[in-house]
Structure 1
Amino acid sequence: MPYGKYKGTIIADIPVSYLEWMAGKGFSKDKMGMLLSTTFEIKTNGLGEILYMVKKQVQAARPRKGGAL
């Protein structure tokens, strides 16, 4: 998240309560708004497991720091 209370937080880790507040104010029409809106829909429809699986795959694909031999 590039701004606000949760600046620096992975969008998938933003609490539903904050996403609900943002939804009430209206999501922006840019890419960030789309990401926040999609995350809100996923979480409020009980599909948070999707976000967990995506985060797990992204973390597995990243090279590890320190270069294990």
Structure 2
Amino acid sequence: MEVQLQKDFLIKLSHAKMPFGKYKDRYLIDLPEYYIVWYHTKGFPKGTLGQQLQTVYELKVNGLEYLVRNIREL
């Protein structure tokens, strides 16, 4: 079941957009790296958005953001 939860999380992440601020309505995976790093140093928000931004950070650090972009195109 855990694999299904991870799959669902990545599918939702691939369609998630920034709900506020300068980058409002931009896909989270397409946010500039410096912005994600800023959140990493400042602290991610609580809840789902924070989990999604933290995942985006890990994906970008490891050069794997293409995986989420590929999911969005399916």
**Which category of TM-score, normalised to the shorter sequence, fits these structures?**
0.7 to 0.9
Q: Does residue 22 in structure 1 map to residue 14 in structure 2?
A: no
RMSD: 1.0
Could you list the per-position Cα deviations for residues 6-46 of structure 1 after superposition, in whole angstroms to 9, with x for gaps in the alignment? 11111111111110011110002211000011011001111
Residue-pair matches, total? 57
Gaps of 5+ in 2: 1-17
**Structure of greater relative contact order (alpha carbons < 8 Å, 6+ residues apart):** 2
**Higher relative helix content:** 2
Decide which structure has the larger Cα Rg and report it. 1
Identity %: 39
- Please give the TM-score of this superposition, normalised by the length of structure 1: 0.75
Runs of 4+ in structure 1 over 3 Å off: none
- Please give the TM-score of this superposition, normalised by the length of structure 2: 0.70
